[in-house]
Amino acid sequence: MSETNKNIMTYYEVDVSQFSETAKLMKKMSASLTAQWAVEGKQFFEVYACYRTEEDFLIVKSLLPKDKPEFPSVSKIFLAASRFERQIYSFMGIKALGNSDLRPWIKFADWPADAWPLRKDFNSAQCLKRVKGEYAWIQAEGEGVNEIPVGPVHAGIIEPGHFRFQAVGETIINLEERLGYTHKGIEKRFESLGWLEGYKLAGRVSGDSTVAHSLTYCRALESMTDFTLPPRAAWLRAIFLERERIANHLGDIGAICSDAAFSIMLYQFMRLKEHFLRTNQTLFAHRFMMDCVVPGGVSVNISAEGAAQMTQELAALETEFERLVKIYDGNPSLEERVRDTGILSTKKALEIGVVGVVARASGLNLDSRSLYPFAPYDKLQVKVPLYTAGDVNSRVWVRIEEVRESMRLLRELLADLPDTTIKVPCPLPERNSTGFAVVEGWRGEVMYWLQATSAGTINRCMVRDPSAVNWLGLESAVIDNIVPDFPLCNKSFNASYAGHDL
Amino acid sequence: MIRTLWQILKTGIVTENVRGKAADDISVLGQKLSNIVKQRFRGSLTIRHVDAGSCNGCELEIHALNNPIYNIEQFGVRFTASPRFADMLLVTGPVTQNMEIALKRTYEATPTPKLVVAVGDCGCGCGIFSENYATIGSIDKVIPVDALIKGCPPTPAALLNGILNAIEG
Ligand code: SF4
Pairing of strands A95-97, A70-72: parallel
**Residue whose CA lies nearest to ligand 1 atom number 2:** B152
Residue A6's pLDDT is what? 52
What residues of chain A lie within 8 A of the CB of B69, using their CB? 270-271, 274-275
Nearest Cα neighbor of A183 from A198, A161, A154 is: A161
* Nearest chain A residue to B71, by CA: A267
Q: List all residues 6 or more positions away from A179 whose beta carbon is below 8 Å from its beta carbon.
A: A106, A161, A162, A471, A497, A500, A501
Pairing of strands A445-452, A70-72: unpaired
Most A CBs within 10 A among B15, B69, B97, hence the mutation to make, goes to B97
Chain segment A10-39, per-residue pLDDT in tens: 899 999 999 999 999 999 999 999 999 999
Domains detected in chain A = 2-136 (3.30.460.80), 199-465 (1.10.645.10)
Task: State the distance from the centre of ligand 1 to the C-alpha of B135, rounded, in angstroms.
Answer: 14
What residues of chain B lie within 8 A of the CB of A270, using their CB? 64, 66-69
Instruction: Write down the ipTM of this complex.
Output: 0.92
CA–CA gap between residue B149 and residue A282 (Å, rounded): 22
Please judge whether A185 and B133 are an interchain contact, meaning their C-beta atoms are less than 8 angstroms apart: yes
A391 interfacial to chain B (CB closer than 8 Å): no
* CA–CA min distance B96, chain A (Å): 6
* CA–CA min distance A30, chain B (Å): 35
Partner residue opposite A182 with nearest CB, options B62, B96, B131: B96
Q: At what angle do helices A210-222 and A231-259 cross, to 10 degrees?
A: 150
Q: What is the 3-state secondary structure (H, E, C) of A325-360?
A: HHHHHCCHHHHHHHCCCCCCCHHHHHHHCCCHHHHH
Residue A131's pLDDT is what? 85
Task: State the distance from the centre of ligand 1 to the C-alpha of A158, rounded, in angstroms.
Answer: 14
Confidence band, pLDDT 50/70/90 cuts, at residue B16: low
Burial of residue B90 (number of CB atoms within 10 Å: 0-12, 13-18, 19+): buried
Question: Quick check: CB of B53 below 6 Å from ligand 1?
Answer: no
B132 interfacial to chain A (CB closer than 8 Å): yes
A115 interfacial to chain B (CB closer than 8 Å): yes
Domains detected in chain B = 45-168 (3.40.50.12280)
Q: Please name the helix (run of DSSP H) or strand (run of DSSP E) that holds residue B6, with its range, or none.
A: helix B2-11
CA–CA gap between residue A135 and residue A150 (Å, rounded): 15
Amino acid identity of residue A252, one-letter, is D
B20, pLDDT greater than 50: no
Q: Which of B49, B121, B150 to mutate to test the pocket of ligand 1 (most atoms within 8 A of CB)?
A: B121
B61 interfacial to chain A (CB closer than 8 Å): yes
B13, pLDDT greater than 80: no
Burial of residue A211 (number of CB atoms within 10 Å: 0-12, 13-18, 19+): buried
* CA–CA min distance B160, chain A (Å): 16
Most A CBs within 10 A among B2, B8, B51, hence the mutation to make, goes to B51
State the pTM of this model.
0.94
Partner residue opposite A274 with nearest CB, options B67, B128, B130: B67
- CA distances A68 to A65, A87, A456, Å, are 5, 18, 27
Question: Quick check: CB of B92 below 6 Å from ligand 1?
Answer: yes
Q: What is the 3-state secondary structure (H, E, C) of A250-301?
A: HHHHHHHHHHCCCHHHHHHHHHHHHHHHHHHHHHHCCCCCCCCEECCEECCC
Three-class secondary structure of residue B149 per DSSP: strand
Amino acid identity of residue B37, one-letter, is V
The pLDDT profile of chain A, 502 residues, written as one tens digit per residue, is 334 445 688 899 999 999 999 999 999 999 999 999 999 999 999 999 999 988 889 999 999 999 999 999 999 999 999 999 999 999 999 999 999 898 899 998 888 888 999 999 999 988 888 888 788 877 777 778 888 888 888 878 889 999 999 999 899 999 999 999 999 999 999 999 999 999 999 999 999 999 999 999 999 999 999 999 999 999 999 999 999 999 999 999 999 998 888 888 899 999 999 999 999 999 999 999 999 999 999 999 999 999 999 999 999 999 999 999 999 998 888 888 999 999 999 999 999 999 999 999 999 999 999 999 999 999 999 999 999 999 999 999 999 999 999 999 999 999 999 999 999 999 999 999 999 999 999 999 999 999 999 999 999 999 999 999 999 999 999 999 999 999 999 999 999 999 999 9
CA–CA gap between residue A245 and residue A241 (Å, rounded): 6
Residue B24's pLDDT is what? 60
Please check whether residue B114 is in contact with residue B102, taking contact to mean a CB–CB distance below 8 angstroms.
no
